Amino acid sequence: MSAPARGTWEPLPAARWEDAFLSGNGTHGAMVFGDPNSDRVIVNHHRLVRPNGSAQARPPALAGRLADLQDRLLAGDVTAGEDFTDGRPLLWVQPYHPAFQVRLRRPAAEWSGYRREVDFSTGVVGAECGSWRSEVFVSRADDVVVQYVTESDLTVEVTLDHRLPGAPTGLTVGHSAVLAPDGALLTLRARYPDSGLAYTGVTLVVTDGPTRAALPGVRVEGARSLLLLTRVRRHAGELDVLAEARALRALLPRRDGHAGTDPGPDAFGYARLLARHTALHRSAYLRTALDLHADDAERALPGSELLRRPKSPALLERLFAAGRYHLLSAAGTLPPRLTGLWTADWDTAWSGAFTTDANLNLQTASAAAAALPEVTEAHAALIHGQLTHWRENARTVFGARGVVAPAHTDGESGLVHHLSREYPLHVWTAGADWLLKPLVDHDETRGARDPRLGAALAEVAYFYEDFLTRTDDAGQLVIVPSYSPENRPANAGWVTLNAAMDLSAARHALRTAAGYHPGTEDAERWRALAGRLPPHRVNAEGALAEWAWPGLDDTYDHRHLSHLYGVWPLDEINPYDTPELAAAAHRALELRGPENDSAHGHLHHALVAARLRDGARVAGALDNVLAGDYFHTSLMSAHYPNRHVYNADAAHTLPAVLIEMLVQSTPERLVLLPALPAAYPTGRLRGVRTRFGAEIDLTWSPREATAVIRPARTHRIEVRTSLGAAPLDLVAGEDHVLTLGAWCPPQLPPPMEGTPWQHAR
């Protein structure tokens, strides 16, 4: 049995942009078609957002009306929130868009023996047939899109072309092509309509063949090698193109001219560019891997064939690998957008933004466990870059200190302005805790606390001190107004009281902030405030209610599972410490419908099910996604079945689901094989990181399972399996090997009774 492939391949070029293979470094992205006669590389940049007027939008000034809204809701007016806006129409954040396509046109020729592939371990997208070969990657070391083409006799026209679907008619575009002994320089400048902003793409063309201008590009004849280096800049005013060209030329060795010879990749510097990039990318990608002992014949299939076999373990192996690859490639300057880092359409669904009330956290859910701190650092960069705006949200909407996060952002503005009657996202107060939770997990995993995170958590706590002023008849605090994204009670308006997510977030934020500021008066106040919040409510159907306020009825058929925030990603509700609430949460999960079959809904469902030890429900959610035609042959995903709406939710979230069904951790607990579907009886998961500071390799079969634990901290934890639970003392630097004989299918474990495994050091 060979190891799972670290890539995917296809026997034909991409016919649709959604099927183009992807490369990226978290800032620049490339979508590669791999057509020998008319190749296209669509260039993306995380900062390319089109001005639409929202950059000047401010949060609604509603603080003066807040007390009246609270009075009305507490008095039983279930529609009081209908007019809690300033009357503005819904304004989307600035839409994300592609830059342009680098086009390489060769004289039409017949070709055979074609193959295109992407190597996840290097980030190189390759295509070849006959003597023609193209390789494209986006350098993590040099922040440049690199394309290297070789052929025995290469004649090709190179142009930069902005004409992509949805490009606005008012876009002002200028081209230039300048020939020089050390390489031709192509530029494309696009100025947005009614704006002083623009973006410019610069491509350096280096070749060993004669080159002449062929506006708007250049024509190369009789070459053997062609190297293209491309960067994009978004800017106000004019860009110093010559400085950009010098920076690109500085990446290459000095050339004395190679026309008519075969210089090889080293003469152009391609091999060195690739080596610098690979040193960073490969080490990150290889930290974690999944092996489901799939059939080697299926592992060898192209991705398009594997996607027709939704029950194949080889498909899940490849999607796990592709998901980690795409997530790593999309995170850098910013975390992944709804489309990751890639789009070829100026009219991207939901503005191609960061939707923070579900999608962003789902996409980055595997970052800590799957050993991708680069993703969490990108997530942190987004948050810390917008805290000033979050403060303005708290002050303007609620008249409070501290911070309130937006539900939508374009990566530039963190101000709340995307709201409407049906989506009153300005009253969502759980967002700051929800978005900071991955940073807390990151700190726990690495065993150190980021002072920036401690300061941000304190600001969340200050907000709750000012906001939580109303009480019910029993003297418990009431979260009012409250909102459960993006749902509403069956018998009330969208703006309500005591949404389960808001309760969980407030408790967690206050207690976590106190933990980051031990021994302070602030910490004492925050813990006391958390203790005054009401408990969750169990409704008449035995389910955890989405709104804890009595009389609010649940709406079950909905894609979001915001009310189960306490189960995942929090540890507030679990089968071990709160079994009754866990049972109610499980009932709520059973009753939840798929609504419009959004991919993020199915995989969010799977994450919650894994925490509740329901392997069958995890399997059902995976089946819905794998059999629902959600994946393009690029192995990037769609938002809806039948590959409708290009969207990274499924692609990026899937690795988190697979890890959670095999290994779960808190700072004090390790859970092994909590929700393994019966379809995957054997396998190995390597390199998982835990929140108690250890790395784990797990192997399993129907006969036994073995976990090798490599702790970086000396610590006592509880280990849970379906066979029972017991304490385990970890010693930093010493491997611990746990062997479980004949483990049984997942179920709620019994109380601690002895040690249900063999333990070796």
- pLDDT tens, 604-648? 999 999 999 999 999 999 999 999 999 999 999 999 999 999 999
* Spans of all domains in the chain: 7-49+97-286, 671-760
Give the helix, strand, coil percentages of the chain, each rounded to 5.
30, 25, 45
**What angle is formed at CA 91 by the lines to CA 86 and CA 96, rounded to 5 degrees?**
155
Prior bond of 524 cis (ω within 30°): no
pLDDT given at position 724:
87
For CA atoms 330, 332, 333, 337, give the dihedral sign.
positive
Interhelix angle for 451-467 vs 387-398, to 10°? 0
Listed range (370-374, 593-597, 718-722, 738-742) with the worst mean pLDDT: 738-742
- Residue, of 355 and 196, whose pLDDT is higher: 355
Report residue 265's pLDDT band, with 50, 70 and 90 as the boundaries.
low
Does the pLDDT value for residue 258 go beyond 70?
Answer: no
Confidence of residue 564 (pLDDT cuts 50, 70, 90): very high
For residue range 493-532, list pLDDT tens digits in order. 999 999 999 999 999 999 999 999 999 999 999 999 999 9
What mean pLDDT comes out for the span 650-678?
98
* In the predicted structure, residue 534 carries a pLDDT above the cut 60: yes
Q: What is the pLDDT of residue 747?
A: 39
72-76, 460-464, 724-728: lowest mean pLDDT where? Answer: 724-728
**Averaged pLDDT for residues 103-116:** 91
> In terms of DSSP H, where are the helices of 592-684?
599-611, 615-626, 649-660
Q: What percent of the chain has pLDDT over 70?
A: 96
Whole-number pLDDT of residue 742? 53
Whether 741 shows a pLDDT value over 80: the answer reads no
pLDDT score at 255: 61
Return phi, psi of residue 90, to 5°: -60, 125
- Tens digit of pLDDT for each residue in 243-257? 999 999 999 987 654
Tell me the mean pLDDT in the region 651-666: 98
| 399-408, 611-620, 721-730: least confident range | 721-730
> What per-residue confidence (pLDDT) applies to 748?
36
d(CA 185, CA 182): 10
Is the pLDDT at 753 greater than 50? The verdict is: no
Q: What is the residue whose two structure tokens read 């074609």?
A: 114
Average pLDDT of the residues in 723-730: 92
Using the predicted structure, report yes or no on whether residue 752 has a pLDDT greater than 50: no
When the pLDDT of each residue in the chain is averaged and rounded to a whole number, the result is 94
DSSP state of 575: T
Residue 744 clears pLDDT 60, i.e. is over it: no
The stretch 586-591 carries a mean pLDDT of: 97
Q: How confident is the model at residue 750 (pLDDT cuts 50, 70, 90)?
A: very low
Query: Given pLDDT bands bounded at 50, 70 and 90, which one contains residue 722?
Result: confident
Rounded to whole angstroms, how far apart are CA atoms 52 and 408?
15
> What local confidence, expressed as pLDDT, does residue 276 receive?
97
Going by pLDDT thresholds of 50, 70 and 90, the confidence category of residue 365 is: very high
**What is the mean pLDDT of the segment spanning 537-563?**
96
What mean pLDDT is predicted for residues 13-19?
97
In the chain the first and final C-alpha atoms are separated, in Å, by 29
137-154 pLDDT, tens digit per residue, is: 999 999 999 999 999 999
Q: Which one, of 625, 641, 632, lies nearest residue 21 by Cα?
A: 632
Tens of pLDDT, residues 22-74: 999 999 999 999 999 999 999 999 999 999 999 999 999 999 999 999 999 99
Tell me what percent of the residues of the chain surpass a pLDDT of 90.
91
Count helices and strands in the chain by DSSP H and E runs = 18, 28
Residue 401 has pLDDT above 50, yes or no: yes
- pLDDT band for position 111 (50/70/90)? confident
The vertex-626 CA angle with 621 and 630, nearest 5°, equals: 105
Beta carbons within 10 angstroms of residue 259's beta carbon: 12
Identify residue 512 by its one-letter amino acid code.
T
Q: Does the structure show a pLDDT above 90 at 391?
A: yes
Residue 454 burial class via C-beta count within 10 angstroms: exposed 0-12, middle 13-18, buried 19 and up: middle
Topology adopted by domain 7-49+97-286: Beta-galactosidase; Chain A, domain 5 (2.70.98)
Q: How large is the average pLDDT for residues 106-113?
A: 86
Q: Does pLDDT of 751 surpass 80?
A: no
Query: Minimal CA–CA distance to 680: which of 357, 294, 370?
Result: 294
Nearest-CA neighbor of 278 among 147, 137, 375? Answer: 137
**Angle at CA 286, nearest 5°, toward 284 and 290?**
130
Distant-in-sequence, close-in-space partners of 628: CB < 8 Å, separation ≥ 6: 597, 599, 602, 641, 642
